[in-house]
Structure 1
Amino acid sequence: MKIYEEQLNFIQNFVKKDDFFQKITLYKELLKKFNSVHNLTHLENIDDNIIDSIKILDYCDLTDKKKIVDVGSGAGFPAIFLACILENSIFFLFEPSVKKASFLRVIKTELNLINVNIIKEKLQNHPPFKVDLITSRALMDIKPLIEISNGFYDEKTSFLLYKGSEVYDELEGMKDYKIVNCGFRNYCLLKVKEKLC
């Protein structure tokens, strides 16, 4: 797990580092097994994608975010890995695909992630509840994502969006945001004061 120690500064001081590395190993084994049958993801370098999921923790302290929604969780990037680190936060992973939601349930059980809830439906079809943080990785543009998140956020809620170079175009007309650039990845931290029209 040298790659994680080389690329993630926060991991040096993470008390449960060994436990985290065991969970990563188990996740990769399960993903390989499920992917061979169900074709969950085309991602080639799983370690790079796990690092991408949690690299933001080198720049931002998210420990005050106690209720977190992940929109379009897919194979678990970034929410599963954030949940492994942020054990005192409760995660709600929204994934409408039956096979992906089933995989996430297996991951939740096998990795003993008692702070993770899997919801097999689209966010916009679920009764809303307020959360501290909404995350999403490459699901859709920022403004449509905010629109489908209506009812889940208020002025205190932050969005953590995993974007590429197009992030600045998507943010046109928006003000309260911060971009953390790390190679190809732009982590967009955003607050929305009111419902978008």
Structure 2
Amino acid sequence: MATTDPLAAGLQALGQSLPDDRRERLLAYRDELARWGRVHNLTSVLDPERMVPVHLLDSLALAPLLRGERIADIGSGGGLPGLPLAIADPDLGVTLVEPRTKRALFLEHIVRTLGLGNVIVERARVEDLPPSATFDTLVTRAFGSLAEFGAAAGHLAAPGGCLLAAKGRDPAREIEALGPDWMVEVVPLVVPGVDAQRHAVRMVRRGEPAGAGMDDQETTG
């Protein structure tokens, strides 16, 4: 039977299913993001209905591409995509890396308010994190170009780990700029309720285990 709940319907379209309490937490986060966003410029999309596909579902579309359970959201801003991913899967250990004070305060507020024991906030630049702070997947929606992301965060990928960047149109030019040090996988995404093109780019430093689907999709630097 078709559901009239946009979040539940979107999750179903993504092939994901969440219990009621996790969906309620996602919507509570959405509401807080809209409330704080009006004051602190956390997001340009403030309509709660539009925030479901543009923020929640767009973030959760990345879930199948994560490696491991130690996840870092680089340049987290208002918590995207890290907070939706952490709420949807409590087994993930998610670190939100955000240097801007007001945004970090919002993230800390969400962690406290929703009781997210699997999330920590690092009020720091990713470049300033110690090399010992390694992660299985470093993910971002808005850090910069792929080359900038790789240069800033690549040293924090654990052996066998990857970098995962959400992009709009196919970022072929950004991939060309990466040079020979990275292998990449470009995955087209279909996000329910989002008409714009969406892609995910998974990056593995050459010499590391590439993972399924990446053997013949190398950068052309």
Matched, 1:118 2:118: no
The alpha-carbon distance between structure 1 residues 166 and 179, as it changes in their structure 2 partners (threshold 3 A), is: closer
Shift in Å at residue 39 of structure 1?
A: 2.5
Displacement, 1:185? 0.7
Worse-matched range after superposition: 171-180 or 81-90:
171-180
- What residue number does 1:193 align with? 206
Aligned to 1:25: 27
Q: Where does structure 2 lack aligned partners over 5 or more consecutive residues? A: 191-196, 209-221
Pairwise mapping of residues 75-154 of structure 1 onto structure 2 (< 5 A)? 75-128=78-131, 129-154=133-158
Q: How far has the Cα of 1:52 moved from its partner?
A: 0.3
- Among 5, 9, 16, the alignment partner of 2:8 is 5
Q: Is the Cα contact below 8 Å between 2:154 and 2:163 reproduced in 1?
A: no
* TM-score, structure 2 as length reference: 0.77
The question of whether the paired residues in 1 share the 8 Å contact of 2:170 and 2:199 is answered with no
Q: Output one character per residue of 1:2-58: Cα deviation in whole Å (capped at 9) or x when no partner.
A: 2223333387663x420122112211222232223322221242112110000133x
Say which is worse superposed, 140-149 or 159-168, in terms of deviation. Answer: 159-168
Structure 2 counterpart of 1:86, one-letter code: D
Question: 1:146 and 1:39 mapped to 2: Cα distance?
Answer: 27
Contact 1:69 1:93 in 2 (8 A): yes
- Structure 1 letter corresponding to 2:187: V
Q: What is the one-letter code of the residue matched to 2:189?
A: C
The one-letter code of the counterpart of 1:66 is E
Structure 2 residue matching 1:75: 3-state secondary structure: coil
Q: Distance in 2 between matches of 1:140 and 1:122?
A: 13
Q: Once the 2 structures are TM-superposed, how far is the Cα of residue 115 of structure 1 from its aligned partner?
A: 0.6
- 1:42 is the counterpart of 2:48: no
Alpha-carbon distance in 2 for matches of 1:151, 1:107: 28
* 8 A contact 1:73–1:95 mirrored in 2: yes
- 1:185 to 1:11, Cα distance in 2 relative to 1, 3 A: closer
Q: Which residue of 1 aligns with 2:77?
A: 74
What displacement does 1:131 show? 1.1
> How large is the Cα RMSD of the aligned pairs?
2.3
CA-CA distance at 1:126 after TM superposition:
1.8
Query: Given the two structures, how large is their TM-score scaled by the length of structure 1?
Result: 0.86
Distance in structure 1 (CA, Å) of the matches to 2:158 and 2:138? 11
Partner residue in 2 for 1:52: 58
Matching residue of 2:188: 181
Q: Tell me, which stretches of 5 or more residues in structure 1 are unaligned?
A: none
What is the match of residue 171 of structure 1? 175
CA contact (8 A) 2:97 2:122 kept: yes
Q: Which amino acid aligns with 2:61?
A: K
How far did residue 194 of structure 1 move? 6.0
SS state at 1:40 partner: coil
Aligned to 1:82, the other structure's residue is in SS state: helix
1:86–1:24 CA distance, 2 compared to 1 (3 A): closer
Q: What is the DSSP-based 3-state SS (H/G/I as helix, E as strand, rest coil) of the residue aligned with 2:94?
A: strand
